[in-house]
């Protein structure tokens, strides 16, 4: 039967990818790991803020994760290509599990008086740094595992299930994290996180072994330089990457949500979980709508519109003092962000030659792979210097300024359709 992976005709079956045991294990691994990771992300920000009363301290969390995730991203991809993927994922997941156990133990001991409160924040920062190291290896390894878990004919179906499971975990992870933290406290929340990580580890152990198919013959730096040259000589590609990098860097209000929940909207950890989930809900629903109403008719024009909507949503959120109105703006922020992610991802896939996909992907990861975490640091720093609301207003305004500059520099790309950007006569337009 198909679940055993033998080659049989692929029928039009919406559940066809789920009939493969290896893909089910991969999907379980991805869902439970994302759920735990999202829970941990939302409660750490709130917990650190409660300990320090500093928005800047929240921003440091993102920086601690971004430094290793960006700094060794290329090496992570290099190791993933030359290693057995199942063993690699087991090591990655066990590392994340161990860091969560350490954070759980530290919070528990601090409540008992065995660890001084001054040590808690530095230890948590170090554990987040370790998670950033693991993340640099996780992305390449999990991407390869998914490709090997199903036949190529059903990649679209498996991608749909993979994306949906990630979005569901991204919605309910922060929601559950905020609710459990609000009602039962930090140690109970870490207990749930650890339980989900154990389930994810079990799912990894059920995966098939995938031996390496690549034996490196040249320097990784030499390969990277060719990818960088290609990206920076394509106007649409570098424009899309720049929009994503700077809009998230300046416009990300997620890092400061604990401050809004605690000080401005006064809804506590429970409200924080709802706010984090609302943004993801907006992304999911808009993605479903885009399956029917594609934004790819004039992708560059629609990308600029989406990033403009993202910036306006951030500004409106900063000005709102009503919880439900704030949820509305977080919903639209998530929706506009999902449109820009879809368009940018399609542009990157479409304009990248097959023989350069790995290198271009590495460049993409180096420049924007951790823009959320770096943006958290920027938001925390701006909040310390300007105040929370002015910092978010500044970020949203900078996003609109970046869109305006990009619009003036890329007017020739606005009328192009998805098919036109591939035509030879349009190639010169895409060059810098």
Query: In this structure, which topology does domain 19-210 adopt according to CATH?
Result: Growth Hormone; Chain: A; (1.20.1250)
Residue of 303, 298, 375, 292 lying closest to 336 (CA atoms): 303
CATH 1.10.3210.10 fits 219-432, yes or no: no
pLDDT in the model for residue 158: 73
Q: What is the 3-state secondary structure (H, E, C) of the chain?
A: CHHHCCCCCCCCCCCHHHHCHHHHHHHHHHHHHHHHHHHHHHHHHHHHHHHHCCHHHHHHHHHHHHHHHHHCHHHHHHHHHHCCHHHHHHHHHHHHHHHHHHHHHHHHHHHHCCCCHHHHHHHHHHHHHHHHHHHHHHHHHHHHHHHHHCCHHHHHHHHHHHHHHHHHHHHHHHHHHHHHHHHHCHHHHHHHHHHHHHHHHHHHHCCCCCCCCCCCCCCHHHHHHHHHHHHHCEHHHHHHHHHHHHHHHHHCCHHHHHHHHHHHCCCHHHHHHHHHHHHHHHHHHHHHHHHHCCCCCCHHHHHHHHHHHHHHHHHHHHHCCCHHHHHHHHHHHHHHHHHHHHHHHHHHHHHCCHHHHHHHHHHHHHHHCCHHHHHHHHHHHHHHHHCHHHHHHHHHHHHHHHHHHHHHHCHHHCCCCCCHHHCHHHHHHHEC
Six-digit token string for 415: 């009328």
pLDDT at 192: 94
What is the pLDDT tens value at each position of the chain, 432 positions in all? 444 444 444 446 778 888 889 889 999 999 999 999 989 988 888 888 888 888 788 778 878 887 887 778 777 767 777 778 888 899 999 999 999 999 999 888 777 767 766 788 899 999 999 998 888 888 777 777 777 788 867 765 676 677 777 778 877 888 888 888 888 888 899 999 999 999 999 999 999 887 776 565 666 676 666 667 777 787 777 788 778 777 777 766 667 888 888 888 888 877 887 887 788 788 878 877 776 676 777 888 888 999 999 999 999 998 999 999 999 999 998 888 878 877 777 777 667 665 565 556 666 666 665 566 666 666 777 777 788 888 888 888 988 998 998 888 888 888 877 666 655 444 444 555
pLDDT at 3: 46
pLDDT tens digits, 85-139: 888 899 999 999 999 999 999 888 777 767 766 788 899 999 999 998 888 888 7
Q: Considering only the C-alpha atoms of the chain, give the largest distance between any 2 of them, rounded to a whole number of Å.
A: 71
Backbone angles phi, psi at 378, to 5 degrees: -60, -45
| pLDDT attached to residue 8 | 44
What pLDDT shows up at residue 7? 41
| 19-210 against 219-432: fold identical | yes
Per-residue confidence (pLDDT) for residue 100, from 0 to 100: 92
Neighbours of 68 (CB within 10 A): 20
Could you give phi then psi for residue 390, rounded to 5 degrees? Answer: -60, -35
Q: Which has the closest alpha carbon to 378: 50, 56, 44, 48?
A: 56
pLDDT of 155 reads 62
Tokens 């305006």 belong to 404
Per-residue pLDDT tens over the stretch 241-254: 778 777 777 766 66
Structure confidence at residue 430 (pLDDT)? 53
| Number of other CB atoms surrounding residue 34 within 10 Å | 20
Domain borders along the chain are 19-210, 219-432
Rounded to 5°, the CA angle 120-35-285 comes to: 130
Rounded to whole angstroms, how far apart are CA atoms 269 and 257?
10
Residues 6+ apart with CB under 8 A from 81: 140, 144, 212, 213, 214, 216, 358
Return d(Cα 354, Cα 198) in angstroms, integer: 37
Number of Cβ atoms within 10 Å of the Cβ of 192 = 19
Residue 101 has a pLDDT of 94
Assigned token pair, 100: 């969560």
């Amino acid at each position: 039967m198909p679940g055993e992976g033998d080659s049989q005709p692929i029928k039009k079956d919406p559940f066809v990818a789920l009939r493969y045991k290896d893909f089910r294990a991969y999907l379980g691994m991805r869902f439970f790991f994302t759920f735990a990771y999202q829970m941990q992300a939302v409660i750490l920000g709130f917990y650190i803020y409660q300990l320090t009363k500093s928005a800047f301290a929240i921003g440091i969390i993102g920086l601690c994760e971004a430094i290793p995730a960006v700094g060794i991203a290329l090496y992570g991809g290099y190791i993933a290509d030359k290693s057995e993927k199942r063993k690699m994922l087991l090591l990655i997941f066990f590392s994340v599990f161990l860091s969560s156990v350490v954070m759980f133990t530290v919070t528990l001991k601090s409540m008992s008086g065995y660890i001084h409160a001054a040590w808690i924040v530095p230890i948590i920062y170090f554990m987040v740094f370790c998670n950033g190291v693991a993340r640099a290896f996780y992305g390449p390894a999990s991407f390869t595992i998914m490709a090997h878990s199903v036949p190529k004919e059903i990649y679209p179906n498996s991608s749909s299930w993979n994306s949906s499971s990630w979005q569901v975990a991204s919605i309910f992870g922060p929601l559950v994290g905020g609710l459990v933290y609000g009602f039962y406290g930090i140690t109970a929340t870490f207990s749930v996180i650890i339980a989900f990580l154990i389930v994810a580890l079990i799912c990894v152990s059920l995966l098939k072994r995938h031996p390496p198919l690549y034996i490196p013959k040249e320097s990784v730096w030499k390969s990277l330089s060719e990818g960088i040259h290609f990206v920076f000589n394509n106007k649409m590609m570098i424009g899309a990457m720049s929009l994503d990098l700077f809009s998230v860097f300046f416009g990300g209000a997620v890092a400061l949500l604990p401050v809004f929940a605690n000080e401005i909207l006064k809804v506590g950890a429970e409200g924080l979980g709802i706010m984090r989930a609302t943004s993801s809900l907006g992304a999911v629903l808009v993605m479903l709508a885009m399956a029917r109403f594609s934004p790819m008719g004039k992708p560059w024009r629609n990308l600029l519109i989406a990033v403009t909507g993202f910036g306006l949503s951030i500004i409106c959120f900063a000005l709102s003092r009503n919880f439900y109105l704030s949820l509305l703006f977080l919903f639209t922020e998530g929706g506009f962000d999902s449109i820009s992610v879809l368009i940018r991802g399609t542009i990157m896939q479409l304009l990248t030659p097959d023989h350069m996909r790995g290198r271009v992907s590495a460049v993409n990861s180096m420049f924007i792979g951790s823009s959320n975490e770096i943006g958290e640091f920027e938001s925390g720093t701006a909040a310390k210097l300007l105040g929370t609301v002015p910092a978010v207003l500044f970020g949203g305004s900078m996003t609109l300024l970046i869109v305006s500059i990009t619009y003036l520099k890329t007017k020739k790309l606005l009328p192009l359709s998805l098919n036109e950007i591939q035509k030879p006569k349009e190639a010169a337009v895409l060059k810098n």
